[in-house]
Amino acid sequence: MNISGNTLSGYMDTFRDLTSVAVILLLLAAASPAKAATYQIDSSAGVAATYPWIDISTTGTTLALADDSMSSPIPLGFTFPFGGIGVADITIGSNGWQFFSAGATLYVNTDFPVGQELLTLPYWDDLNPDGVATYIRYQTTGTTPNRIFVVSYLDVPHYCISSFLGFPLPGCNSSNQTTSIHETFQVQYHEATGDIIYWYKTMSTFGGGWITGPIPAGGLPEPGATIGLEIGNTDYSRWSYNTDSITNGKALRFYYSAPYTTPNPYAWYKMDEAIWGSVTDASGNGRNGTKLGSAAPTGYPPSNPPASAKIGDSGTCGSGEIPITDGTQGVDMGFDLNNVGNSGSITFWYNSNTAWNDGNNRMLLDASNNLGSNDNRDRQFYLVKTGNGSLLFSLEDSNNNESRATTGNNSFATNTWHHIAITWNLGQDRIRIYLDGILSATSTTNLNGTLGDMLSLYIGDQRGGSISGASNYTANSANGYIDEVRIYNAELTIQDVVADEGRTHSCGSGGIDHYELSLPTGSIACVPTPVTVTACADSSSPCTNPAISMSEQATLATTAGTLAATTLTFISGVASTTLSYPTAADGANATVTLSDVSPIKCCPDGIDCVAANSCSTTFKTAGFIFSASAGGNETAIPAQAAGVSDGAYYLRAVKTNTATMACEAALSGANTVNLAYECNDPMTCYAADLMSVNGGSATTIARNNNGSVSSYTSVNMTFDTNGNAPFTFSYGDAGRVTLHAKKAVNSVTLTGASNAFVVKPYDFGVIPCASSVFGNCTTAPADPGLLGNGSVFTKAGAAFKATVTARTATGTATPSFGLGSNNTTEAVTLTHARIAPTGSGTADGALGGTTSIPRNSFTDGIATVSDLNWSEVGVVTLTATNSTFLGNALTTTGTTGNLGRFIPDHFAITTGSVTEGCDPGNFTYFGQDGFSSTFTLTAKNTANTTTQNYTGNFAKFDLTAWNNYNFSAMWLPATPSPASTLLASATPPTGNWSNGTASVIAKHLASRPAAPVAPATITVNAKPADTDGVTMTSA
């Protein structure tokens, strides 16, 4: 760390500074590398020819910028895609940099990352146009779609010190401008390609500054310039820093190169149902919503208005109508918005029944929480269309800090579809609104990183009642149509938003992909056979996503026996009845046909679906059925958890009484029954028998791959006089399986099979470990406790590993968890919870790296990720969650013990000032106690972001110990002996840690040389180090 540019001069034994600011603080430690540069740099000679200099020296608008200043936002004249963000305005800085976000006026250039978002740095150095209008010009040239926004710096001088003790210094005029050192360069922003061109026409310096000549603010040597651009702290493209790297006539092309993948939706509502009871989540995550009031789907095809946002069979299909009538109208998504997280996005289409500027506020979505009539308690999260047609998005963090983004006014006509997206990232302190694919509003207000306590999300109407301090908060519904609501637990880029705007899907039949008819392949004459019809909202087969709002009817017919109902009404996408055929002889067949709907698949035994509108079953007069009760009908075994002994169930041995046609016992008393299990999904069993059945004593039964059941195990079971034998079972793996029973009784072989049921893992074991560990993590680190005195685990932002094991109830792995259907799309997600420190101002931080592990990454039930990182200081727990298994909405979780301590990666020092020992701001004597430097010390993670939790017991740097800073000085007189050295003052440094930052005042003295010396210009260095070894060198 360098406290640089303190020019301490004077006669004999005095120090005297040459500038009004005596200490400038610079970070000299190596900068964090960009993790994923959005822009690449083309420095070839052809750039200057392809993109020639554009002369605006007489036509461009002049910009009179004072020293260390910046302009107001200037319209580009078009939307420019900077780093994946559509921007329309630019702020021009006097020091050779330009901003698409909040600007800055710092004149001391640093290496990347520079700590700003969305900026270009064609030549960041201490330039000084001093308000002369002709030095900087800008202009939009060309016509759509080939416009270019040009900013030219024309013969701009550098800042220099003009005099010392009233005497002029050479090479510098009275306006503090260099007289012979000037820079002429240009930036071009190309609409058509998104390219950014830096053009260097006539430069006095070439990126590396100068050694002799005019004296800059920090004293000689003048270090140079920073050239590149920065999207954020982990995404920047660096050309050079304080290095000669350009020549006159050189041009650099920065071009967009970063690939991106839109994250999978947390929830997705097509709004295509024919009738609403609930609103289907088409993401497969099972987060179905519930209609509110008289809100209703239009069905497909919809009338016009509203038509569809995207017309055609591959379009956006139907939509949800949100009426204007009294009461709450819309859709309750059902999930707590806090479960989406501190970063998220919501995109949707909106069609208003009135013009947007109709004078009425309209609530489009809301998750606000009314916690009492107190602005400090209520928490707001809502998007409203205001009466003047603008969109207003507002949210609050857990500490009641509000961020509010508002677009410009809009006058869109009635019955016109417009695409809207909102994004939030509390960790980066920003919220955004996109309208029709264009970034239209942004807000940054110093959020604390954690979303406030919200409720479930309402689409189309107010959620929270009266919310104190919420601008334009209204009970008015959306009064229109909403469609294609997608919710993400990540902040989308503009490319993601535009991709969502363009998405279409097959409209099919009212949002139904297909229908499935299911009945057993084998039936017993005296027992009613279950018949099930499922309306499926997607292509999963067997269906795992019923169209739960489906309430239409279907018709059944049979070739034999009697159906309990032939006209079926769907309830939550499923319709059921039974087929009775008590007079059936052995081998009799009945075929059930489904009509009035299409397309149809037959799913015998609920598996192995094929395209057909009918299914058949074969009857026997005797056999086994699996039931949930003694004397009960055949029962579908529900989803199970691995290793859990569930039940009790009953294996019923029944036969048809030839006189009454009713069931009677086929077995009684103690018997042995041959049992087996069949692996349906995955279709191949693990290479060990993992199913245990207990009919009196636990017995492991034989495994069989899908479609071929030949291996059985004899199991002791006891049947009562009615043929009922109780049993329990436990499966030591994960997947979809079927139980089979068989026994020869005299000349008859009794057979039977259960339904194919799903067994999910019981839980996840999650073991973290250091990144240096080879292979899987097998031993968790020691619990660091919550008081800040435990052992160090790793640095904030540094990579570590975690091994996740899908387990049974006994803690063994479920080896087939990574196999089977949907194993590439279903995933285990890793989240974190901050355990310590807590209190005001502390932050949850962000868990980075591979936090979504596809199931197919698991081998023998185990997966390890090696690039996890947590951005903060302290102690956390990690939780693994799988919410969908084999297409079924089944949740499995597992949580670590306390994980930590996480410590900062490095310290950073920001610009401060000096107070001299005599005549404040004037000079300090050798040997005088002393001059004081004021600066800010900040604890940072590997991404160079402040670690807010470096406070209290978790801050291991004693700010009051001068030696901890490892101060040193350059350019102190070395002769005569003894030489002058930098020493501690009798007054110790002062400062307090607050959210990772400390304002420090450190007092120093320079020892008196043996004899009078000339004035000295010194540089004070610091390399602070805490007791954990955190210092400046790891950045």
**pLDDT tens, residue by residue, 712-768:** 999 999 999 999 999 999 999 999 999 999 999 988 899 999 999 999 999 999 999
Q: How confident is the model at residue 257 (pLDDT cuts 50, 70, 90)?
A: low
pLDDT at position 512? 77
Q: Which two tokens stand for residue 977?
A: 């002996």
Q: How confident is the model at residue 79 (pLDDT cuts 50, 70, 90)?
A: confident
Share of the chain above pLDDT 70, in %: 93
pLDDT > 70? residue 33: no
**H-type alpha helices, 754-898:** none
The residue-averaged pLDDT of 896-901 equals 96
CA angle centred on 387, ends 381 and 389, rounded to 5°: 85
pLDDT at position 962? 95
pLDDT in tens, 683-720: 999 999 999 999 999 999 999 999 889 999 999 999 99
pLDDT at position 94? 96
pLDDT at position 302? 85
- Mean of all residue pLDDT scores within the chain: 88
Q: How confident is the model at residue 514 (pLDDT cuts 50, 70, 90)?
A: confident
Separation CA 926–CA 978 (nearest Å): 13
Separation CA 19–CA 11 (nearest Å): 16
Q: How confident is the model at residue 912 (pLDDT cuts 50, 70, 90)?
A: confident
Closest of 673, 851, 723, 937 to residue 263, by C-alpha: 851
| Residue 777 · residue 769 · CB < 8 Å | yes
What are the CA-CA distances from residue 977 to residues 649, 928, 981 (Å)? 96, 18, 11
Token pair 């199913």 is found at 691
pLDDT at position 19? 26
Share of the chain above pLDDT 90, in %: 63
pLDDT > 90? residue 618: yes
- Alpha-carbon torsion 73, 75, 80, 85, what sign? positive
Put residue 415 in one of left, alpha, beta given phi > 0 → left and psi -120 to 50 → alpha: left
pLDDT at position 552? 65
pLDDT at position 1017? 67
pLDDT at position 84? 67
pLDDT in tens, 349-384: 999 999 999 999 999 999 999 887 555 778 999 999
Higher pLDDT, 609 or 29: 609
Q: Which two tokens stand for residue 117?
A: 């978002």
The residue-averaged pLDDT of 470-491 equals 94
Name which of 340-349, 497-506, 990-999 the model is least confident about. 497-506
pLDDT in tens, 124-160: 999 999 999 999 999 999 987 789 999 999 999 999 9
Backbone angles phi, psi at 41, to 5 degrees: -120, 125
